[in-house]
Amino acid sequence: MLDMFENTAAAKTRARKFLLVASLVFAATTPKVMAANITEYPLPAIQPDSILVGSDKAIWISSWDTKNNITRITTDGQVTSYTIPTTPAAMVNGADGALWIAANTQVVSTQINKDTNTPYLQDTITPYIGRITTGGTYSTIYTGPTKSDNSAFLITSILAGPDGANWFVKATNDTSPQVIERVQPNGTVTEFPLPAYTSVYRSDGTLAAQFPRIGLIAANSDGSLLIDEIDTNYNKTVFHMTADGQFARMNNVPDRPFVTAADGAMWFTGGHPVNGAGTFDDSKTISRMATDGTVTDFKANIPNYSSVGGLIAGQNNDFWFIENVAVGSSTSGEIYYGAIGHITASGQITEYKISDLDTQPFGITLGPDGNVWFIEEKTQKVGVLNVSDNSAIIPVHISGLYGSSQAAKNQSFLRIANTASNGSVTITLFDASSGQQVGQWTSPIIAPGTSRQFAMATIESNTLQPIQNKPAMYTALIQPQFTARLQHIIWNPVAGELSNVSMCSRGTDTAPTQLNFVHTSTVGEQGYSSSVVITNTGGIGQSVTLVITDGNDGSTIGEYVSPLVPKNGQLTVEVPDIEAYLKFKPQSSQSYYTVTAKQPFTGYLQHLLTNVQSNSVITDMSTACVVQPGIG
Residue 197 pLDDT exceeds 60: no
Q: Identify the three-state secondary structure at position 329.
A: strand
pLDDT band with cut points at 50, 70 and 90 for residue 176: low
Q: Identify the three-state secondary structure at position 628.
A: coil
Residue 34 pLDDT exceeds 60: no
Q: Which of 122-126, 358-362, 549-553 has the highest mean pLDDT?
A: 549-553
pLDDT of res. 124: 77
Tell how strand 307-313 and strand 295-299 pair up: unpaired
Question: Do 510-632 and 393-502 have the same topology in CATH?
Answer: yes
pLDDT of res. 276: 38
pLDDT of res. 510: 53
Average pLDDT for residues 579-596, to the nearest whole number?
Answer: 91
H or E element in which residue 397 lies: strand 396-402
CA distances from 75 to 56, 178, 228, 370 (A): 11, 39, 34, 10
Q: Identify the three-state secondary structure at position 10.
A: helix
Q: Calculate the dihedral angle through the C-alpha atoms of 515, 517, 522, 525, rounding to the nearest 10 degrees.
A: -80
Q: Which residues pair with 106 in a beta bridge?
A: 125
Predicted confidence (pLDDT) per residue in 595-608, tens digit: 999 877 888 898 88
Residue 212 pLDDT exceeds 50: yes
pLDDT of res. 578: 96
Predicted confidence (pLDDT) per residue in 500-516, tens digit: 887 766 543 456 788 88
- The whole-angstrom separation of Cα 340 and Cα 365 is 11
pLDDT of res. 545: 92
Average pLDDT for residues 125-144, to the nearest whole number?
Answer: 86
**CATH class belonging to 510-632:** mainly beta
* Cβ-based neighbour number of residue 155 at 10 Å: 22
Average pLDDT for residues 51-78, to the nearest whole number?
Answer: 86
pLDDT of res. 233: 53
* Higher-confidence position of 559 and 324: 559
pLDDT of res. 221: 57
Q: Give the residue ranges of DSSP H helices in 359-506.
A: 456-461
Average pLDDT for residues 484-504, to the nearest whole number?
Answer: 80
pLDDT of res. 32: 52
Calculate the average pLDDT of the chain: 76
Burial of 395 (0-12, 13-18, 19+ CB in 10 A): buried
Q: What percent of the chain has pLDDT over 90?
A: 14
Residue 277 pLDDT exceeds 50: no
Q: Are 61 and 90 spatial neighbours (Cβ–Cβ below 8 Å)?
A: no
Beta-carbon contacts of 16 under 8 Å, excluding residues fewer than 6 positions away, are: 256, 257, 269, 270, 309
- The whole-angstrom separation of Cα 538 and Cα 95 is 10
243-252, 465-474, 519-528: least confident range: 243-252
Average pLDDT for residues 236-250, to the nearest whole number?
Answer: 72
- The whole-angstrom separation of Cα 531 and Cα 350 is 47
Residue 445 gets which letter from DSSP?
A: P
Q: Which residues pair with 588 in a beta bridge?
A: none
* Cβ-based neighbour number of residue 622 at 10 Å: 22
* Higher-confidence position of 22 and 271: 271
Q: Are 361 and 338 spatial neighbours (Cβ–Cβ below 8 Å)?
A: yes
Q: Are 594 and 528 spatial neighbours (Cβ–Cβ below 8 Å)?
A: no
pLDDT of res. 138: 92
Residue 39 pLDDT exceeds 60: yes
Q: Are 614 and 528 spatial neighbours (Cβ–Cβ below 8 Å)?
A: no
**CATH class belonging to 393-502:** mainly beta
Average pLDDT for residues 235-248, to the nearest whole number?
Answer: 71
pLDDT of res. 203: 56
CA distances from 358 to 131, 193, 311, 327, 379 (A): 33, 41, 20, 10, 8
pLDDT of res. 7: 32
Where do the structural domains in the chain lie, given as residue ranges? 1-81+274-392, 84-263, 393-502, 510-632
pLDDT band with cut points at 50, 70 and 90 for residue 30: very low
pLDDT of res. 175: 56
Chain-centroid distance, C-alpha 172: 27
Query: Read out DSSP for 124-154?
Result: EEEEEEEEE-TTS-EEEEEE---EETTT--E
H or E element in which residue 499 lies: strand 497-500
pLDDT of res. 527: 79
* Higher-confidence position of 447 and 29: 447
Q: Identify the three-state secondary structure at position 330.
A: strand
- The whole-angstrom separation of Cα 308 and Cα 338 is 10
Residue 627 pLDDT exceeds 70: no
Q: Identify the three-state secondary structure at position 406.
A: helix
Predicted confidence (pLDDT) per residue in 527-566, tens digit: 788 899 999 887 677 889 999 998 878 889 999 999 988 8
* Cβ-based neighbour number of residue 607 at 10 Å: 25
pLDDT of res. 194: 74
Query: Read out DSSP for 47-103?
Result: -EEEEEE-TTS-EEEEE-STT-EEEEE-TT--EEEEE-SSEEEEEEE-TTSSEEEEE
* Higher-confidence position of 473 and 36: 473
Average pLDDT for residues 108-124, to the nearest whole number?
Answer: 76
Q: Is the peptide bond before 395 cis (omega within 30 degrees of 0)?
A: no
* Higher-confidence position of 453 and 389: 453
Beta-carbon contacts of 624 under 8 Å, excluding residues fewer than 6 positions away, are: 516
Residue 392 pLDDT exceeds 50: no
pLDDT band with cut points at 50, 70 and 90 for residue 333: low
Residues in the chain, total: 632
